[in-house]
Chain A
Amino acid sequence: MTARFPIVIAGVLLSLFSVAGAGLVAVTHVATAERIAHNERQALLDQLTVLVPKERVTNDMAGDAILVSDRERLGADRTTVYRARAGDSPLALILTAVVPDGYAGPINLLVAVLADGTLGGVRVVSHKETPGLGDKIEEQRTDWIHGFAGKSLSNPDPAHWKVRRDGGDFDQFTGATVTPRAIVKAVKNTLLYVKEKGDVLYAPADSVHARALLGSTG
């Protein structure tokens, strides 16, 4: 038997090892799934809370989210909007806006817009910009990204929502203008989107209004 069907034995052996390997992975997955989900939620919550006046938030921001769709304004077909509330009144929106025209591909942002239309802050979640040049947008490297906090569509006025080289109010970096220019434009577009949609963005996730924001692509 062994001599006649070596390939069968080999096949059975390989399947046994595959099953054992898959079993090991499955057991580890079950054992860690809860902790991983908790970590991811906590990491998200940590990112969100620094952008809003956290002592006034009463809801679970990570859980209170809707999906919207507006490629032109928000850079992607799907954008998550987290909502911060103080009791029943709206406090802030945090949008996962995408900068479509970074120097080395899309840049993922978190843009927090307070209920009065000013920016709670902007953070870069991930990017592929050149190390040493474009990566000054990272909070760990320079304070540049902090410059957005408190700005709004009336401060500066829309005509000045540009980098200085283009006649605007925002700094660029030596050797890297494309990255800051793209981010300034994307943040401005996000503010415009929030202004256009208004209070609908705070509508309950299961309401008709909130679902309409996803548009026909939903």
Chain B
Amino acid sequence: MADIAYAKIVRDGLWHNNQSLVALLGLCPLLATTTSATNGLGMGIATTAVLLLSNVTISLIRRLVRPEVRIPVYVVVIASFVTVVELLMKAYFHELNQVLGIFIALIVVNCTILGRAEAFASKNPVGAAAVDGLSIGIGSTAALVALGALRELLGQGTLFAQAHLMLGDWARVLELELVAGFHGALAAILPPGAFIGLGLLIALKNVIDKRLARKAEAVPVAPAQPAQAG
């Protein structure tokens, strides 16, 4: 693998192999924390940080680790980074930590991270692993924010409420209240709303993919290579 197809890694991470919408990995944090767009963003950033750190580390040590103990080693690496991220959040984003609290520790068992360690980082050089971690992380963050925004809008009629707790006072411009006094559809905030919302997002992605594929077919000078399998 002389030259690495960075563009493909990015495209896969963000869209074609989006861990939340295609691979359907890491659903526990996705469903549990997305009661608002702000929560989704916070969880997404924390996950991305862990993913980037663990991918880089595992890629660096990939020749060192014997196959018999690779999974325990990955788990140790991931668990250490999650604890570090948790401590940093408590120190610097105390209020957000109170909201996300327990779910941060659960990043350890997010299969996306172990999955990328095993499937990608352990077989690729550091640069590619870093790009992969970042792309996968941003792809998952996008899904978290989208689902959070959807549920918050339907359930509460607001968007990015309390974003200033995480991002500082400037973020108040993001905070949006659609209709004053609109209390929303309770179901969207409750757990079933998470499943329904996720289903809708996956359906939306599939519709977009189909449209794109049809468009690609319609163009006569399309390259012989068939479109990527979604």
A residues near B, CB below 8 A? 6-7, 9-11, 13-14, 17-18, 20-22, 24-25, 28-29, 32, 35-36, 39-40, 43, 131-133
**Do the beta carbons of B189 and A13 come within 8 Å of each other?**
no
Given contacts A18-B76, A131-B189, A132-B186, contact A10 B66 (CB under 8 A): yes
B residues within 8 A CB of A13?
A: 64-66, 69, 73
Give the dominant DSSP class at B's interface.
helix
A residues within 8 A CB of B123?
A: none
Query: At the interface, yes or no: B17 with Cβ under 8 Å from chain A?
Result: no
* B contact residues, range: 20 to 34
- Minimum CB distance partner of B95 in chain A: A43
Given contacts A21-B80, A28-B87, A132-B183, contact A6 B66 (CB under 8 A): yes
B158 vs chain A, min Cβ distance (A): 11
B66 vs chain A, min Cβ distance (A): 5
B residues near A, CB below 8 A? 35, 61, 64-66, 68-69, 72-73, 76-77, 79-81, 83-84, 87-88, 90-92, 94-95, 98, 155, 183-184, 186, 189-190
Give the dominant DSSP class at A's interface.
helix
7 additional contacts, CB 8 Å, given A35-B91, A40-B94, A43-B98? A17-B73, A21-B77, A25-B83, A25-B84, A28-B83, A36-B90, A132-B184
The residue in A17, A35, A40 that gathers the most chain B C-beta atoms within 10 A of its C-beta is A17
Q: How many A-B residue pairs have CB under 8 A?
A: 69
Question: Could you give 19 example pairs across A and B, Cβ below 8 Å?
Answer: A6-B68, A7-B68, A10-B66, A10-B68, A13-B64, A13-B65, A13-B73, A17-B73, A20-B80, A25-B80, A28-B83, A28-B84, A28-B88, A43-B95, A43-B98, A132-B155, A132-B183, A132-B184, A132-B189
- Minimum CB distance partner of A21 in chain B: B80
**Do the beta carbons of B94 and A43 come within 8 Å of each other?**
yes
- Distance between Cα atoms of A216 and B46 in the complex (Å): 45
A residues within 8 A CB of B73?
A: 13-14, 17
- Distance between Cα atoms of A21 and B54 in the complex (Å): 12
**Do the beta carbons of B76 and A36 come within 8 Å of each other?**
no
- Distance between Cα atoms of A17 and B90 in the complex (Å): 25
- Distance between Cα atoms of A28 and B72 in the complex (Å): 22
B residues within 8 A CB of A32?
A: 87-88, 90-91
Given contacts A36-B91, A132-B183, contact A17 B68 (CB under 8 A): no
- Minimum CB distance partner of B83 in chain A: A25
- Minimum CB distance partner of B94 in chain A: A39
**Do the beta carbons of B69 and A21 come within 8 Å of each other?**
no
Instruction: Name B80's contact: one of A11, A22, A35 (CB within 8 Å).
Output: A22
B89 vs chain A, min Cβ distance (A): 10
B residues within 8 A CB of A25?
A: 80, 83-84, 87
Instruction: Name A14's contact: one of B72, B84, B94 (CB within 8 Å).
Output: B72
**Do the beta carbons of B66 and A9 come within 8 Å of each other?**
yes
- Distance between Cα atoms of A20 and B68 in the complex (Å): 19
B160 vs chain A, min Cβ distance (A): 15
